[in-house]
């Protein structure tokens, strides 16, 4: 299947001389939710800006559904909706007027039914005649989403859509995103709430210092890089890990009450059975056992730290 967005050898050096993107290659698959993660200043917004036409690339090429973003920008851009990171809205216009304006700007005929539907989905319907400046930050964020959806884009960029949005509305928003995906829209999002990416994304990309350091299927990524830990709560505290168990590379918690065993989920034998047998043999009694799995957040932090 042909990628819907194809980024090749893309670099960006700002006028200040700062190189924000370093020869990036990236393929976005049709219909997926792609989460782009990276620390502050990694280059996420720059990358999105280039694809959407706001930032001029220094080098490289981007195709959107086969249309070059520079030479065939009309075709490329008409497919894309963008929700920017900054809360940049008009002030004196009404919600209805600004969303209608966006649709016209993208060359689509007026469609009040569609706009009504979007405003209702985003819980903005009762605010449709309010001036934007009278709205709260979270509401403004939703106005930006409504603007991006007003022209029925096939690709939606969400640059930190949940910053400053309360829990309830965040859920609603992800509901909207899911239903968009179900209708075939490709979604690229950035977020600093990594749990969100873990929940929502089909694939994850990690960018750091202008380099894409990883692109991976989410499930695969969790399986490959995820580790599991078995925590054994002891009946009696220990001073040190007994020599007999040294081969298992156990760690002892600070209070001496727990033994922690880290194992690889991918290997055929986890070694748990053997470990438990040896514990028994060494006469160490335990009260309870539990396992924890590393989250995407742990994986992300590890990756970025290693890359430094």
Name the H helices within 91-242. Answer: 95-105, 112-121, 137-149, 167-182, 194-200, 218-225
Q: Match 């509401």 to its residue by tokens.
A: 139
Site string for another protein, 149-178 (x = CB under 8 A): ------------------------------
60: left (phi over 0), alpha (psi -120 to 50) or beta: left
CA–chain centroid gap for 233, Å, is 35
93 interacts with another protein by CB under 8 A: yes
Tell me the closest approach of the beta carbon of residue 46 to another protein, in angstroms: 8
> What is the C-alpha radius of gyration for the chain, rounded to an integer number of angstroms?
25
**Binding partner selected for residue 306 from another protein, Mg ion, ligand ATP, none, CB under the kind-specific 5 to 8 Å limit:** none
91 with 133: CB under 8 angstroms? yes
* Residue 91 binding: pick among Mg ion, ligand ATP, another protein, none (C-beta 5-8 Å cut-off by kind): another protein
Q: Tokens at residue 197, please? A: 């990416």
Which one among 54, 260, 277, 289 touches another protein, defined by CB under 8 A?
54
Q: CA-to-CA distance for 234 and 236, rounded, in angstroms? A: 5
Q: What does 38 interact with, of Mg ion, ligand ATP, another protein, none (CB < 5 to 8 A by kind)? A: ligand ATP
Q: Does 147 bind another protein (CB under 8 A)?
A: yes
Choosing from 7, 35, 89, 135, the residue that interacts with another protein (CB under 8 A) is: 89
Question: Could you say which of Mg ion, another protein, ligand ATP, none residue 42 binds, taking C-beta under 5 to 8 angstroms by partner kind?
Answer: ligand ATP
> Considering beta carbons, is residue 16 or 88 the nearer one to ligand ATP?
16
How many CA atoms does the CB half-sphere of 30 hold within 13 Å? 11
Return d(Cα 8, Cα 60) in angstroms, integer. Answer: 6
- The contact set with Mg ion (CB under 5 A) reads 44-45, 85
Instruction: Provide the binding-site residues for another protein, judged by CB under 8 A.
Output: 14-15, 49, 52-56, 73-78, 80, 82, 84, 86, 88-93, 97, 100-109, 147
């Amino acid at each position: 299947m042909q990628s819907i967005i194809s980024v090749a050898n893309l670099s960006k050096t700002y006028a200040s001389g700062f190189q924000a993107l370093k020869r990036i290659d990236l393929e976005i698959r049709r219909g997926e939710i792609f989460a782009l993660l990276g620390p502050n200043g990694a280059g996420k917004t720059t990358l999105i800006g280039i694809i959407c036409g706001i930032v001029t690339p220094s080098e490289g090429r981007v195709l959107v559904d086969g249309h070059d973003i520079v030479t065939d920008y009309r075709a490329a851009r008409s497919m894309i909706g963008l929700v920017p990171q900054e809360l940049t809205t008009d002030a004196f216009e009404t919600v209805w007027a600004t969303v209608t304006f966006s649709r016209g700007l993208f060359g689509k005929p007026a469609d009040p039914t569609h706009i009504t539907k979007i405003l209702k989905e985003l819980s903005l319907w009762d605010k449709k005649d309010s001036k934007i400046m009278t709205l709260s930050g979270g509401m403004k964020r939703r106005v930006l989403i409504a603007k991006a959806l007003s022209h029925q884009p096939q690709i939606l960029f969400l640059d930190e859509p949940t910053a400053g949005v309360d829990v309830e509305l965040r859920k609603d928003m992800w509901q909207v995103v899911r239903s968009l995906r179900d209708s075939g829209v490709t979604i690229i999002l950035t977020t600093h709430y990594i749990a969100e990416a873990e929940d929502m994304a089909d694939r994850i990309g990690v960018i750091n210092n202008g380099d894409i350091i990883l692109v991976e299927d989410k499930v695969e990524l969790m399986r490959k890089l995820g580790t599991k830990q078995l925590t054994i709560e002891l009946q009696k505290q220990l001073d040190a890990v007994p020599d007999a168990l040294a081969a298992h590379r156990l760690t002892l918690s600070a209070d001496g009450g727990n033994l922690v065993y880290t194992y690889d989920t991918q290997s055929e034998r986890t070694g748990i059975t053997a470990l438990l047998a040896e514990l028994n043999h060494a006469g160490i009694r335990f009260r309870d056992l539990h396992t924890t799995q590393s989250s995407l957040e742990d994986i992300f932090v590890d990756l970025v730290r290693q890359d430094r």
